[in-house]
Amino acid sequence: MKARVFTNGDFWVTGRDVRRRDSLAALDGRIIRIGDYDECLDAFPRGMKPDVIDLEGKTVLPGFTDSHIHLLSFGLTLQDIPLADVNSIEAVKARIRARAAEMPEGRWILGRGWDQEVFAEKRYLTRKDLDEASGGRPVFLTRACGHIAVASTRALEIAGITRDAQDPPGGAIDRDAYGDPTGILRESALELVRSHIPPASRELMEHLLKQAMEHALSKGITTAHTNDGQAGFPGTMDLYRKVQEQGVPLRVYWDIPVEFMQDLFKTPLRTGDGDDYFRIGAIKLFADGSLGGRTAALEEPYSDDPGNRGILVTPEQELREQVYLAHTHGMQVAVHAIGDRAARVSLEAISSAQSRLPVNHIRHRLVHVQILSPHIMSEMRRAKVVADIQPKFISTDMRWALERVGPTRMRSSYSWRTMRRAGIPLAGGSDCPVEPLDPLLGIYCAVTRKDVEGNPPLGFFPNEKLTLDEAVRLFTMGGAYGAHEEHRKGSLVPGKLCDFVALSEDIASVSPDDIKDLEVVLTVVGGEIAYRKT
């Protein structure tokens, strides 16, 4: 048996009991007592001498859960050109030239993170921009949101995308005034090119996933709800298991791509099955695209693009059938829904499944839920869905969200406080690699509604701020509840897993503006130190 006492800490105990404690006792990876030092020593069976670890007065929170992430995708982007910090098309070209100079002829150049809204040129990239810098190589650069990409002429040729190519269902190929593809691809059209990019080897995937999982632990994340599938089914499960066996103890709740649903049904595995380190999560479905790319499905046209209501990437009837099929097999669904139209059709699909087969214990989830209405929020509460939100989005989207949807719709958008007061369960994530993998940054955005520079001074639509307790709960109990795991994770109470994070300063004592600057100094998973800041 492994016995530990973590002492000289300032333990944040979430839930009804918010008093602080200074010590925690753990036996075989679970908490058996939290209180003062002597109480924790007395908690062990007679004759058992625990190891004692001094936390040096650090503030301790329950381990963070990122409720929506693409961990393997994040790992794979570590080898791509980083573009999140690029503020001009000329700078993008410079990075392409630098990568082309170090790569063999004919190799694909990949990158992710660009955003036309911050470009000095104030326009989308085109294939011609990429051609000028790449020397004829195939180039594929994904926008920050992951729902739009730009391809070079050579990449389009490899994919067979010409002026005669038809838009795929649930996607679009942008064209110029002459009908020729510009290189911009939206939603399902990305797959026309992506399917021709040589996949990473199994060994490379394993190496990059290990880096991604270690990075998550360094940010205090002890559980990740990850939506991945690049290694296939069951290859993705095997990949996570193999990295965990190498001593990377990040807990994983795998949200399975819809294309693997039939493969899953051939097994006995269902939502929640697995062990404390790897569990089957939800079936991940898509209703629409992204607000930044104007592909989120809205009930009314975009305020800055009249005539465009976005894209329902999955037709309504097909989405209903997917939800019902998962529901009847005992599977939770997690539906990507950003626009109000996407939220409505997703809720209708979930409500239809619940009425046809009442199964109240399945907590279906809507992911993102950015543009809403009072009626939609009422329906979310009635349907008992979990809202998977990403607070960091506000720091990026505030640059253009008001222009996209106008002041009337903004009053019920990114409405975290209103949703919470309406009784809708909330879970917090990052959607990494869309946003950085950092729960403290998410907590900062939830309580301030500011960007990382601290603007606007009072916050963006500040009436929707969360309190610090509520924001911490998003990334602890909120994520646990969204995975039906609130009885084993999310708070530091006896009987639960001994997962916690120690911070450089007391999160309750610093200014809200300084939360983003706090550091994780220790991450503990199952009573074992998984990360220590050196």
Q: Are 121 and 179 in contact (CB under 8 A)?
A: no
Task: For 278-308, write each residue's pLDDT tens digit.
Answer: 999 999 999 999 999 999 999 999 999 999 9
* Three-state secondary structure call for residue 147: coil
Cα 336 from chain centre: 11
How far apart, in whole angstroms, are the C-alpha atoms of residue 348 and residue 350? 5
Q: Return the HEC string of 506-531.
A: CCCCCCHHHHHHCCEEEEEECCEEEE
Mean pLDDT for the chain? Answer: 95
Closest by CA to 293, choosing from 182, 195, 400, 436, is 400
| Tokens describing residue 175 | 């064209």
Q: Judge whether residue 448 has pLDDT over 80.
A: yes
Task: For 59-103, write each residue's pLDDT tens digit.
Answer: 999 999 999 999 999 999 999 999 999 999 999 999 999 999 998
Task: For 148-207, write each residue's pLDDT tens digit.
Answer: 999 999 999 999 999 999 999 999 999 999 999 999 999 999 999 999 999 999 999 999
Q: Which domains does the chain have, with CATH numbers?
A: 3-57 (2.30.40.10), 65-70+202-522 (3.20.20.140), 80-194 (3.10.310.70)
Which residues, listed in sequence order, are joined to residue 64 by a DSSP beta bridge?
A: 221
Measured from the Cβ of residue 29, the count of other Cβ atoms closer than 10 Å reads 17
> For the purposes of burial, counting CB atoms within 10 Å of the CB of 14, is it exposed (0-12), middle (13-18) or buried (19 or more)?
middle
DSSP alpha helix (H) spans, 260-310: 261-265
Q: Are 463 and 484 in contact (CB under 8 A)?
A: no
Confidence band of 18 (pLDDT split at 50, 70, 90): low
Q: Are 24 and 492 in contact (CB under 8 A)?
A: yes
Which residues, listed in sequence order, are joined to residue 366 by a DSSP beta bridge?
A: 335, 387
Task: For 327-355, write each residue's pLDDT tens digit.
Answer: 999 999 999 999 999 999 999 999 999 99
Q: Judge whether residue 420 has pLDDT over 70.
A: yes
Task: For 474-524, write each residue's pLDDT tens digit.
Answer: 999 999 999 999 999 999 999 999 999 999 999 999 999 999 999 999 999
pLDDT mean over 310-328: 97
Q: Are 150 and 125 in contact (CB under 8 A)?
A: yes
| Tokens describing residue 99 | 């990568």
Peptide bond connecting 433 to the previous residue in cis, omega within 30 degrees of 0: yes
Q: Judge whether residue 19 has pLDDT over 70.
A: no
Q: Judge whether residue 104 has pLDDT over 90.
A: no
Q: How much is the pLDDT for 477? A: 96
